[in-house]
Chain A
C-alpha cells in the first residue's frame, strides 16, 4: 500500500502517512538539510491507564507508576541494555511517560536505518527478569526521590490532587517508592501485551530521511495482526473540585503557586477547544495582557509566570502559576482581576494579537524536527492532526473566545496549590 501525501502549503511542509494493516499509524516528515534524524514510536498508554479490562474480559488493577516502570524496563534485553547498541551506532535513545502516552525515541546524525530497526524491534520485544525488576526499583526510587525535592513537581502534583477526586490524573506518573515495589514481571508482560499492540501506536520519523525506506522498515518489522481493543476504566469524576486550597512547606528559595480551573472534558472538536483555550489564556494572562502587566508591576509575578490548558480525552483544566513572593496575595488579586475581565469582556484586538502570535509560534515550531515529532505524535495518538491547527487559527472568531471566557471563568471551579518557604 502506498503512503498518502498531506501538504501544508503555507508552511511548505509535506507529511507522508500510512495506516498499516495492523492499525499502526505511521508518519514521515522529511526535513532536508537537518543533521538530526529522529524517530518516535509511541503507544497510547500512560499513568492514567492503571485499571483496565483486557481482551478476554478480565479486570486488572495494576500498581501506580507501572507505565513508567515498563518504559524503563523495555530497554533491558537478554544480556544487556539496548541503549548500548544505540550508543554504538552514534544514536541517543530515550523515552518518557506521561498521563496518557509512553514515547520511545532516538536521534542520530549517522546510522539512521540501523537505529530505526533497533527502535522498532526493542519496543515490541519485552524481556523482564525478577533480578532486573529489583534493580530498576533502586534506580526509579532515586528518580522519584529527585522529584520529591523539586518544588515545581510538588506544587503541580498537589494541584492535581486538589482538583480531582477520582480521576487517575491525580496520581503521580511515576508512582511512589512503595507502589513500584509491588510491580512484578507478570504485571509488566500483561501491560505490554495489552497496550503495545500496533493499533494502539503511532510511529513518526523526521529529518533528512527517505520516506519509502522508512515505511519499508515499518512494514517489515511491525507484525500485521490486529489485536482486540482494551477497555480503559475511569471512575466517575464529580464536577466540583476536591479541595480549594492545599499548601505545604519545603526548603525553597521563593514560594510557588499553581492555580487550576477545572473544565469538563471536550465532547467534540477537542483540537478546536484546546487551541481556543490557549488563545483565551494568552489574552487573559499572556505578557501583553492587562492582568499580567498589573500583577508584574505589583511585584507578584515574573517572566516565569505561565498559563496553559492541560487536557486529554477525559480530563481538562487551565493551570497557571509560577514563583511569587506572596502566593496568597497573588491568588486574591488574580481572581479579582479575572472577575473584572469577565464582566468587561475581551477586546477584539487582544484576540487578534494572540491569534497572530500563535500563528508565528506555530511556524517557529517547524524549526525543530523534535518538537514537531512530539506535538504531532501527541495529537495523532488521540486521533487528531497537528496540521489542522493552522486552519483552526485562521478560522478563529473573537466571539468564540469570548464565549469560552464566560463558560470557563464566570463561575469557575478553582483549586490553588501553594508551596511555602519552610520556616517562614
Chain B
C-alpha cells in the first residue's frame, strides 16, 4: 500500500491509493492552518459550508440529494495537529459495482466541490442564518467538553501546562472567540484559507490514476490564485522546574489524575523511534507498566495509559481513580517512569511492545479514513510513510536507547479533577 503523489497546482497535491479492498470511494480534502489564525473560525467553517451551497441552498435539499446518492457521507470537521488546525472535508460514496444502480461518485465529488468553492454567499458574507445557527452549535460543542471528564481533564492539563503557547489553544477554539464571528469576516477567512493553506486531496478506492487525477483537477478547478504558506514547526515548551500542580473540584464520582511531561526529542528526529518504544513499554498498551501496575497489581483504576505528541515533543499520562488514592497512584505512575529510566524492563516487554506497534502500523491501512490520516500525520512530522521502513526503525532500537529516551522525559504539570470539597 502507498499513496502516489501528484501536484495539482501551487501547494495543492493529490494523494491517491488505488485499491479494491474497500467497497466505497473516499475523497478527503485537508487544509492546514495555524491554530493562532483563529481556531473557532476554523472549526465553524466546515460546519457552515456543509449546510448549503449556491446550487443547493436549502439544507434539506442537500441532505436529500446525499441520501439519494446511496447515503453518500459528506462531513466536515477539524483536528488539532500540535499548533496547527486541519480543516477536513470528506465525502465517501458506495462503489457502483455493488449497488445495482447508478454511480454516486460524480455527484458526490461535485457536491464536495460546491461545498469548498461555491458556497452560499449573501451581502458579501456567508449565509447569515447558517452562521448564527452554527455559532450556537459550536458553542455547545465547546461547552460539551465539560461533560466528558477524561477529555476535560486532558484539556485543563494542557491549558495549565502550556499557558501562553499556541499549543494551549483548544481544537475548537475558545468560547469568547465564537461570539465575535461574523458572516463577512468568516467569508474573508475562508478565502484566506483557500489562498494560503496547503491543500492535500486524498483519494482511496477502486479507480484508475487517470480518473483520480481528472476528478481531483475538476474538484479544484474553481480555485483562485494561490499563495501557499509552508507550515511552521511548533514552539519548544520550556524546560520544567518544580512540577506545577493544578486541582479542580466538581461533583464527580471518579477523580481524573493527569500528568504532562516534556521529552528531549520530536518526531522526525533519528532518535524518535526510541521514544515511541519507551512510551509503548511504559503506558501505551494493556501489557505496559502503567496498566499492569496501576490496574492489574493494585486495582486502583480501570484505565491508566500514556501517549506522546511527537510533533510538540510532549508526553501525557491519565488514569481514573478514587479521590483518596491520588497519592498512591501518583507514586506508582512516577515510580514506573523511574524504572524505565534505570532500564528496568524485560526483553519480553520490548518484544510485546514491538509486536503491538507493528500490528498498529499494518492495520492502519485497513480503513480508508485511518489510512489517510496516518499518511497525512506522518508526512506532517517528516517521518517515513512506508510501513516496513517504520517497523525496521523500531526494531533497531536498543534497550539502552529506550532508557535514554526515558531519562530525557521530565515532569512538568500534575492535574487532578477532584470531588466537591467537603462532600
Q: Which residues of A contact B (CB under 8 A)?
A: 10-12, 33-36, 81, 83-84, 87-92, 107-110, 135-140, 142-143, 145-146, 148-151, 250-254, 256, 286-288, 290, 293, 296-297, 299, 302-303, 323, 325, 353-354, 356-361, 363-364, 366-369, 422
Q: Are A293 and B359 in contact (CB under 8 A)?
A: no
Interface string of B347-385 (1 = CB under 8 A from A): 010011001101100110111100000000000000000
Contact status of A252 and B99, CB under 8 A, knowing A33-B19, A138-B299, A139-B301: no
Q: How far is the CA of A91 from the CA of B358 in the complex (A)?
A: 10
B250 at the interface (CB under 8 A from A): yes
| A360 CB, min distance to chain B CBs, angstroms | 3
Pairwise interchain contact A363-B301, C-beta atoms closer than 8 A: no
Least CB distance from B232 to A in Å reads: 32
B295's nearest neighbour on chain A, judged by CB, is A139
Known: A34-B366, A36-B363, A356-B71. A139 touches B145 (CB 8 A): no
Nearest-Cβ distance from residue A122 to partner chain B, whole angstroms: 15
Given contacts A91-B359, A353-B67, contact A254 B60 (CB under 8 A): no
When distances are taken between beta carbons in the complex, the residues of chain A under 8 Å from B287 are: 83-84, 87
Do residues A364 and B92 form an inter-chain contact, with CB atoms below 8 A? Answer: yes
A367-B23 CB under 8 A given contacts A110-B358, A361-B71? yes
* B285 CB contacts on chain A under 8 angstroms: 87, 92
Cα distance A302–B253 in the bound complex, in angstroms: 28
Chain B residues lying within 8 Å of A11, measured Cβ to Cβ, are: 23, 98
A-B contact count (CB 8 A): 191
The answer to whether B104 touches A360, judged by C-beta atoms less than 8 angstroms apart, is: yes
Tell me whether A299 and B254 are in contact (CB under 8 A): no
Collect the chain B residues with CB atoms within 8 Å of residue A357's CB. Answer: 67, 70-71
A143, A303, A354, A356 pick with most chain B CB within 10 angstroms: A356
Residues of chain B in range 227-250 having any CB-CB distance to chain A below 8 Å: 250
B140 sits at the interface (CB 8 A): yes
Given contacts A90-B358, A108-B359, A142-B301, whether A10 and B70 have CB atoms under 8 Å apart is no
- Asked whether B68 lies within 8 Å of A251 as measured between CB atoms, the reply is no
Q: Which of B20, B24, B95, B286 contacts A33 (CB 8 A)?
A: B20
Contact partner of B147 (CB less than 8 A), chosen from A254, A296, A303, is: A254
One of A148, A288, A303, A363 near B64 (C-beta < 8 A): A288
Q: Contacts A364-B23, A366-B23: A354 and B355 contacting too (C-beta < 8 A)?
A: no
Task: Return the contact of A422 from the options B251, B362, B365 (Cβ within 8 A).
Answer: B251
B154 at the interface (CB under 8 A from A): no
Given contacts A83-B287, A90-B355, A367-B368, contact A142 B144 (CB under 8 A): no
| Least CB distance, B352 to chain A, in whole angstroms | 4
| Given known contacts A288-B66, A293-B60, A145 and B253 CB-to-CB distance under 8 angstroms | yes
| Given contact pairs A83-B287, A366-B23, a sample of 14 additional A-B residue pairs in the complex whose CB atoms are under 8 Å apart | A33-B21, A34-B366, A36-B363, A88-B348, A90-B358, A139-B301, A142-B320, A151-B147, A252-B146, A353-B68, A360-B71, A364-B24, A364-B73, A367-B24
Give residues 132-154 of B contacting A (CB, 8 Å).
133, 136-137, 140-150
Is B67 a contact partner of A251 (Cβ separation < 8 A)?
no
Q: Of A92, A149, A256, A369, which one neighbours B252 at CB under 8 angstroms?
A: A149
Assembly CA distance A376 to B143 (angstroms): 37
**Residues of B with C-beta under 8 A to A354:** 67
Q: Do the beta carbons of B355 and A286 come within 8 Å of each other?
A: no
For the complex of A and B, 9 pairs with smallest distance between CB atoms: A138-B299, A360-B70, A90-B355, A357-B71, A253-B146, A253-B143, A360-B71, A288-B63, A109-B362
Contact B99 A254 (CB under 8 A): no
Q: Which chain A positions have C-beta within 8 A of B250? A: 251
Q: How far is the CA of A107 from the CA of B363 in the complex (A)?
A: 9
> In the docked arrangement, what's the CA distance between A89 and B161, Å?
38
The contact sample of 16 A-B pairs, CB cut-off 8 A, is A11-B98, A34-B366, A87-B286, A88-B351, A135-B299, A146-B150, A288-B67, A293-B59, A296-B133, A297-B129, A299-B133, A356-B71, A358-B71, A359-B70, A367-B24, A422-B251
- Give A232 Cβ to nearest chain B Cβ, in Å: 29
Which of A287, A302, A363 makes the CB contact (< 8 A) with B23? A363
Instruction: Indicate if the CB atoms of A251 and B146 lie closer than 8 Å.
Output: yes
Are A251 and B71 touching (Cβ within 8 A)? no
Q: Is the pair B302, A139 in contact by a Cβ cutoff of 8 Å?
A: yes
CA distance A135 to B137 in the complex (A): 44
> Is B321 touching A92 in the complex (CB atoms < 8 A)?
no
List the B side residues contacting A303 at CB < 8 Å: 137
* B268 CB, min distance to chain A CBs, angstroms: 25
**B67–A286 touching, CB < 8 Å:** yes
Task: Report if A10-B100 is in contact (Cβ < 8 Å); known contacts: A302-B137, A367-B367.
Answer: yes
* Pairwise interchain contact B71-A145, C-beta atoms closer than 8 A: no
Residues of chain A within 8 A (CB-CB) of B20 are 33
Q: Given A253-B144, A254-B144, verify A140-B302 contact (CB < 8 Å).
A: yes
Instruction: Report whether A364 and B60 are in contact in the complex, using a CB–CB cutoff of 8 Å.
Output: no
Known contacts A109-B359, A357-B71, A142 near B302 by CB under 8 Å:
yes
A252 to B251, CA, bound (A): 10
Chain B hits for A252, CB < 8 A:
144, 146-147
**Within 8 Å of chain A (Cβ to Cβ): is B279?**
no
Query: Shortest Cβ distance from A243 into chain B, in angstroms?
Result: 24
